[in-house]
Chains A and B, each alone.
Chain A
């Protein structure tokens, strides 16, 4: 049985009702996201928000994944500071690919887990190589496709179709994740409908289902292992501690 996870929903939108709605829609997990600026301005309040959402999620039977999203332009310096200070406090850190500089940095820094693509983003060959090497995920969102203006949603659809083709050509479909990007509960959709939308972009339906379930679950498990110290450095996994021979 598949376990679906919507990795990007605004933490403010995650009330008891919306968590119940997510469960009814068929999700077993959700990424509670706080924007980087908000997190940096008041880390204690954001961590408290995460704690309360996790507690409510546990009561409702939804696994809550804590996440910081860099959703506005940020210089390398502040981003490095953010990563150094808070990498160990949240499970997932993602960067929206706004401009070349930020995208290139996010791809080559191992502390960033997810590269979120918006219709204006550009991924180059080198970026893809880093994404593959570090086991990062490439995230596409449903919200640009739900735009009021048909032309902008058509542009988003065309752009994401191109990304899907590129990832298929590079054999990186397992790195693709598809999230709602919902800022309020009205933007939440059921996972099979999301997968149907993704399959319109040229992806096989099974791969599209993986993009809202298996691929996300794998990323979250890896991030949690890193946080728990099971993977102290890249390529090393502690499978057990041996008995003392003396």
Chain B
């Protein structure tokens, strides 16, 4: 029944809006279906894009992914870096007309930490005082370090100084909810007929595998500058299908592209193809609890002999860049850059010779071959990459077998049994800070430390960095940690991601940025 109502409502609205000859509509290709529109339960960028248009957090990314005021018009940070006081603007309103108040943020943040909500990404806000304990069920939500001083002043207390905290707030988990709607409708508050949003757009309809339609929210405080009246998000999982519809003029942008076609796309569409560095690393995890990978010389040998330029250029058609460190370049709060592998400057042939030396010293090599198994989740490019790397490992006397699983089984294996020699994995940064990459191999990070790396010094350095308020000093400590990482090589960093998109020349205001965020409110369409 509800579905019928939605359909009727949607079709009436569609019919009505079809009558608006001047309704500027942006048909936007998204690379998947959102799992849910409840921001507290989401975890991927597919939902992030949609939620960014529907809601506005305390701070937001502008078109170039810089932090600008959102609902909060200004903020102060205490000297010890632990208390943030946000001043909310007076004219922030929900689509229902209610004003956005500090209590809304308190409600939302408490809700995401409440274990029963089942929030997949609550951990990103753990820097807030008591957040982790609450999410583990050890404390009550009311004890969260968030307080509404008055309707327009919000105070957030952190467990320790966190230089990237504002970045964290731009994540979809920091978006507010309309408390009355949630209390009245429970989990049904996300339905188009119930949902109340405070962003540039409000939700009109949501048909899975068909489209998500939004219309301009007139109550939005910056509505005067929002130039696109209507957005249709099309969940097109097949990248080639999005390309075809783009070329047919049916969509104005695609958020991801098929890498096999990059060369021909660049020839055909030129500037409309955007390849932009993205905060992400593609790597091979090495199981340090297995022979011969427990020997650092073997790990180094395997890492240095790989021709990353070939992988990036030929296999990934230039969509990926060679990676000689774990943390991608261009990341924030990393003054002075990161630590690369020692052999990054050596020529490939020298690296190959050195690798053979190391392998032989470790007791292996061309005369004493060893077999390794590469596990990856099935996809064209993972397969081609593994094949190419197997080829590169041959001169070292390494014979490669492959073990392919679908994505669920692969990540379940990595998380649980860890039954692999070498496993492909990737990590996209949630926020622009090196800690978000280096924390992967902390010894207590059972979820992500696939290599089972245990280095107490490394952990100590990460803890030290967490407590350091001086950003430059902190960058230095993190750099040391990264240097230790590159010496021990628990993961072999292979490539850095790029974001790939097609952008129609009719779409104005699209700025390439490292976070690949392009809120519709900053865009406009020319004829």
Partners in one complex: no
Give the B-binding residues of A (Cβ under 8 A): none
B binding-site residues for A, Cβ under 8 Å: none
